[in-house]
Structure 1
Amino acid sequence: MAFLGAIRDYSRKKNTRDSAKVDFVELFFDLVFVFAITQISHLLLHDLTLKGLVESALLLAAIWWVWVYTTWVTNWMDPATPPVRAMLFVLMLAGLVLSTSIPTAFGERGLVFAIAFVFMQLGRSLFMLWAVRQHNPSNFRNFLRITIWLAISGIFWISGGLADPEHRIFFWGAALAIELGGPAFGFRTFGLGSSTTADWDINGEHMAERAALFIIIALGESILVSGATFAEQQWNLISFSAFLTTFVASVAMWLIYFNVGQSAAHHKIAATDDPGRIARIAYTYIHVLLVAGIIVVAVSDELILAHPSGHTEPAAIWTSIGGTALYLVGNLLFKFYVAGRPPLSHIAGLALCGLLAAFSGHLSPLLLGALTSLILIIVTIWELKGRRKEPHHA
């Protein structure tokens, strides 16, 4: 009875000072995704082919989708209540199984990955149906639609896990398309209609903070890779210069996101009458591009640190320049959606990436890394100076 009674006050208290605070159990839950990001980074590092890139991208999107759906749930539900904490602990265990199966998800552990993923997605939604059934009719219908969509995509996930590895990408690609399309179409379901962003009454400040924390998780992977690789190198001027270059890139990526974009989006989503609309585009969809860019740059960091001098391999070129460009594209889209106009500094940064790609084959890995870091620094300084000239923009 005590357990059932705890759910009666399941929701976060809206419009209170504590409603936007991230609970410690949410940070504990995020530890699983630190591991998942590391696994995906290593998977891409060990297969720097187009096939490896596509597989890594699909797995990253799946991992992000599990995390962001859970973030929506903990925005509505109070993690301090025992039932919600229990739900998060169960998801953590399944998430560890999911993460450990990533390296061989397109091999012998495909079915394990699929079962863990479907369990997390459907299990969380079924929990929400139980939790809100008598308290929030609108959200109950919302999660009934979501559950139906996830059940349909789950068929493709499990089918892919059972299929031959060479055919798995097609099943899982279809499954992911269904899941990604759900929010865009309001989870339109025959007989139940569709959800609107007005139905997704969330605390915008909490959503903004959770997304920012995931960016820090991804950047932490970059720092971890740089430190671990540098520790195994012979320490000399060249290796230290490469290490310094990767660290500067991480700092610049942090500044590009947190100095302007994150704070502006935080204020906008906190002030809007329709936070669900902003959260759906800016945080649910666009942020995965930022995380992908950070992961690709982390892979380039490891390649540059391992071989800072000599000929630059194509893998180091496309991960260094491509990862930097992808991160800038993600930030550009994020800030364009928030501010209504694309930042000129990011457009210039992308142009510089294109220019660098034209003669990158003649550069050493160390010089290539230094130049991509320089591009990020230029973007950071340009954007900061531009904001100082426009104090009326938050």
Structure 2
Amino acid sequence: MVATGGDHKVTPAELFFDLVFVYAITQVTALMAAAPSPMRVVGAMTVLALLWWCWCCFAWLGNVVRADAGALFAVLVTVMTVVFVVSLAVPEVFADAPGGLSAPLVFVVCYGLVRVLHLASYWISSPGDTALHVTLRRTALLSVLPPLVLLLVGCAYDGTPRLALWLCAVAIDYGGIYVTGASGWRVSSPGHFSERHGLIVIIALGESIVAMGVGVGVFPLTVAVIAACAAGLLLSAGLWALYFRRFGELPEHRLAALEGDERTRFARDVYTFLHLPLVAGVVLTALGMKKVLAQVADTGHYDLAEPLHGTVAWSLTGGVGVFLLGAAAIVLRSSGRRPTALLVGGVLGLAAGPLVAVIPALPALALLAAGVTALVVLDGRGVARAADA
């Protein structure tokens, strides 16, 4: 394996690796859309957290070892195959279809294989790094093995018991990273690390656009459909602008200024943990956007005055709220600045579900897009004032 340097950039091999996660994120949205309910949303977010861990493992590894050289490329292709199988199982993890293999068991076994491949690749990449090897052993014993046992046990149950066991597994997995500590892990290139996470945000935003297209399906193209697509694209563009024009560069600069374990801890907090709400927020919003397009296009079953209902109504604005609160946490951790506009916008997004449920779907989407656009401008002014001060 070929070690990276401080000027390392994202390789085409890593972009190729990300392709399978485009499908994986799409499957998470499909899992919620098939039977929208609060329990199904929690289950989908649990699945997303496990998929996110698969992606993050190799984002860290690709920062210290070139992904397009030596044995790592073969490992990446293997992991892509395994994650693709994981993605195929996602729609049935909580409602396994009769016949064929057990989808929950396939999901868990393949997830465990990804984690094992990651640890083995890290071990081989640094044969003389004693600190890293100690951390890898702790990670395997505290953050990989116990969650895998809970995930496997969960496969023997249905419904709420399975979800409860899987939630416990995710909590132990994520919490175990703090127990094992930062010693041994490294971020060789802050630019590469930041770019990798920026690309996964783009993938999530791209999935929201795909969800709109899927929502339209085979329905006729109408003026209302075009208007809904325009509003959805404006909303996605607003979230893109918030990340790439307002706060996305801030953590990269902070990461570059740190060294050693401080850099590792910051990368863990801001990128591994706090970027997950950004992706989760976009996925939740994509569910709402998909349903808006479906209702607007399906004039045989819905009137244009029909609002979204229940969980889907909350997901449209609630997803944006999750995204904004994640963004606020990133700004706070990176600079210590209180991002008031992001915090207020996040809380309003989480609380706006009942309002969405009484407003026609298309106007609700348009108002949300306008609100996010206004927030981009408002937060930009706040950043400018902070810089002048």
State the one-letter code of the partner of 2:340.
Answer: L
Is the CA contact (8 Å cut-off) linking 1:113 and 1:161 kept in structure 2?
Answer: no
Q: 1:84 aligns with which of 65, 72, 92?
A: 72
Match of 1:381 in 2: 377
- Which residues of 2 match residues 115-130 of structure 1 at below 5 A? 115-130=109-124
Is the CA contact (8 Å cut-off) linking 2:208 and 2:282 kept in structure 1?
Answer: yes
Q: 1:237 aligns with which of 216, 223, 226?
A: 223
Is the CA contact (8 Å cut-off) linking 2:135 and 2:184 kept in structure 1?
Answer: no
1:131 aligns with 2:125: yes
Match of 1:152 in 2: 146
Match of 1:141 in 2: 134
Is the CA contact (8 Å cut-off) linking 1:353 and 1:375 kept in structure 2?
Answer: no
Cα deviation, 1:255-300, whole Å, max 9, x if unaligned, reads: 0111121111111111222321111110111111111110111111
Match of 2:339 in 1: 343
State the one-letter code of the partner of 1:233.
Answer: F
State the one-letter code of the partner of 2:40.
Answer: G
Is the CA contact (8 Å cut-off) linking 1:156 and 1:175 kept in structure 2?
Answer: yes
State the one-letter code of the partner of 2:232.
Answer: T
* Deviation, structure 1 residue 232: 3.3
- Which residues of 2 match residues 1-394 of structure 1 at below 5 A? 7=1, 10-13=2-5, 15=6, 17=7, 19=8, 21-106=9-94, 107=96, 108-133=102-127, 135-149=128-142, 150-164=144-158, 166-185=160-179, 187=180, 195-196=181-182, 199-230=185-216, 232-273=218-259, 274-308=262-296, 309-312=304-307, 313-350=309-346, 352-353=348-349, 356-357=352-353, 359-391=355-387
Residues 45 and 90 of structure 1, relative CA distance in 2, 3 Å threshold: same
State the one-letter code of the partner of 1:144.
Answer: R
Q: 5+ unaligned residues in a row in structure 1: which ranges?
A: 1-6, 188-194
Residues 354 and 52 of structure 1, relative CA distance in 2, 3 Å threshold: closer
Is the CA contact (8 Å cut-off) linking 2:187 and 2:193 kept in structure 1?
Answer: no
Q: Number of residue pairs matched? A: 372
* Deviation, structure 1 residue 344: 1.9
Is the CA contact (8 Å cut-off) linking 2:212 and 2:289 kept in structure 1?
Answer: yes
Is the CA contact (8 Å cut-off) linking 1:230 and 1:243 kept in structure 2?
Answer: no
State the one-letter code of the partner of 1:310.
Answer: A
Q: Percent identity?
A: 25
* Deviation, structure 1 residue 160: 2.1
Q: 5+ unaligned residues in a row in structure 2: which ranges?
A: 97-101, 297-303
* Deviation, structure 1 residue 233: 3.3
CA distance in 2, matches of 1:354, 1:165: 26
Secondary structure of 1:241's match? helix
Residues 136 and 48 of structure 1, relative CA distance in 2, 3 Å threshold: same
What's the C-alpha RMSD, in Å, of the aligned pairs? 2.0
State the one-letter code of the partner of 2:134.
Answer: R
Is the CA contact (8 Å cut-off) linking 1:153 and 1:176 kept in structure 2?
Answer: yes
Deviates more, 1:212-221 or 1:274-283: 274-283
Residues 229 and 357 of structure 1, relative CA distance in 2, 3 Å threshold: closer
CA distance in 2, matches of 1:314, 1:196: 42
Is the CA contact (8 Å cut-off) linking 1:122 and 1:151 kept in structure 2?
Answer: no
* Deviation, structure 1 residue 43: 0.6
CA distance in 1, matches of 2:381, 2:165: 48
State the one-letter code of the partner of 2:150.
Answer: F
Secondary structure of 1:307's match? helix
Is the CA contact (8 Å cut-off) linking 1:303 and 1:316 kept in structure 2?
Answer: yes
CA distance in 1, matches of 2:176, 2:347: 34
Residues 182 and 235 of structure 1, relative CA distance in 2, 3 Å threshold: same
* Deviation, structure 1 residue 346: 1.2
State the one-letter code of the partner of 2:137.
Answer: L
* Deviation, structure 1 residue 314: 2.4
* Deviation, structure 1 residue 348: 3.3
Deviates more, 1:380-389 or 1:297-306: 380-389
Is the CA contact (8 Å cut-off) linking 1:332 and 1:342 kept in structure 2?
Answer: yes
CA distance in 2, matches of 1:143, 1:381: 44
* Deviation, structure 1 residue 357: 4.5
Residues 368 and 163 of structure 1, relative CA distance in 2, 3 Å threshold: same
